[in-house]
Structure 1
Amino acid sequence: MKTLYKAKVTTSGGREGHVKSDDGILDMRVSMPKGMGGKGEDFTNPEQLFAAGYSSCFGSALQVIAKKHKVDLGDFSVTATVKLGSLEDGNLQLAAILDCYIPGVEVEKGEQLVNEAHEICPYSRATRDNIDVTLNLMLDE
């Protein structure tokens, strides 16, 4: 693999700690969500950070695919919902839902764009066959 970009982040203190990137752009506390037994403090957590990365990366993949198909995405958005759950054996597992809103696109074309973006998105490729990922095309009502 030819490296195009490298991100380096150090976490101290685990889920009740601090994350900082080597360039200082990311520099914040993290806390365990209340639903996992945390205090419910107003700090981010690993699942939110993963959802932010996945939704922005998937959005870029959608732009690449839309350009290939000469489709204007308009004021599109991708919302990632990342769930952390417990399996029967007690291990923890992630799952993700990607809600893709592409205004004015026909359903068939929208589904094609979303499915093709899922094939090229690095986050989708990294999670493929590892976690459940649900793709949704959100429609105007």
Structure 2
Amino acid sequence: MKTLYTARALATGDGRDGQARTDDGKLAVDLASPAEMGGAGNGTNPEQLFAAGYAACFHSALRLVARRTKADVTGSSVRAEVDLGAIGNGAFGIAVRLEVSLPELGAAEAEELIEKAHQVCPYSNATRGNVDVQLSLATEEAAA
């Protein structure tokens, strides 16, 4: 791989109940375990950060393949949901659902574009074969 960019972040404190910041100071967040897991929920958590990153990265990949194919992605968006769960033997894993809204495209063209983006997106390539990633095309009601 030819490195194009390196992001650097430092987590301190008590892991899920600590702080995280990037070396350039552009991101600094308090971390807190979600209330659903018995935490206070007074900050963000790694799954939310992963969801935001994957959604943004996939949307960028979608726009890249759209430019290549001259597809109209006006008003497009990507919603990511990241599940955290036990996978046995005391280990944990994640699963991802990406819901893509492409209001200017028909279903067949939209689904083809989504699949192409899934092949290009760095997050998709990093998770492929290890994380269950489900892709779906948003309905008009869900995208609103």
With the length of structure 2 as denominator, give the TM-score of the two structures: 0.93
Q: Which residue of 2 aligns with 1:120?
A: 120
Aligned sequence identity (%): 46
Question: Offset of 1:89 from its aligned partner?
Answer: 3.1
- Residues 32-81 of structure 1 deviation map (CA, whole Å, 9 limit, x = unaligned): 0011111122x111000000110000000000111111111011000000
Give 5+ residue unaligned stretches, structure 1: none
The residue type paired with residue 16 of structure 1 is D
Q: How many residues align?
A: 140
The answer to whether the Cα contact below 8 Å between 2:59 and 2:78 also exists between their aligned partners in 1 is yes
Distance in 1 between residues matched to 2:41 and 2:63, nearest whole Å? 36
Matches within 5 A, 1:1-141: 1-13=1-13, 14-41=15-42, 43-140=43-140
SS in 2 for 1:17: strand
Distance in 2 between residues matched to 1:101 and 1:116, nearest whole Å? 15
The answer to whether the Cα contact below 8 Å between 1:104 and 1:140 also exists between their aligned partners in 2 is no
Distance in 2 between residues matched to 1:9 and 1:113, nearest whole Å? 32
> What's the C-alpha RMSD, in Å, of the aligned pairs?
1.0
Deviates more, 1:81-90 or 1:63-72: 81-90
The residue type paired with residue 81 of structure 2 is T
Give 5+ residue unaligned stretches, structure 2: none
Distance in 1 between residues matched to 2:81 and 2:140, nearest whole Å? 20
The answer to whether the Cα contact below 8 Å between 2:94 and 2:131 also exists between their aligned partners in 1 is yes
Distance in 1 between residues matched to 2:19 and 2:41, nearest whole Å? 16
Distance in 1 between residues matched to 2:140 and 2:4, nearest whole Å? 37
SS in 2 for 1:124: helix
SS in 2 for 1:87: strand
Question: Offset of 1:2 from its aligned partner?
Answer: 1.9
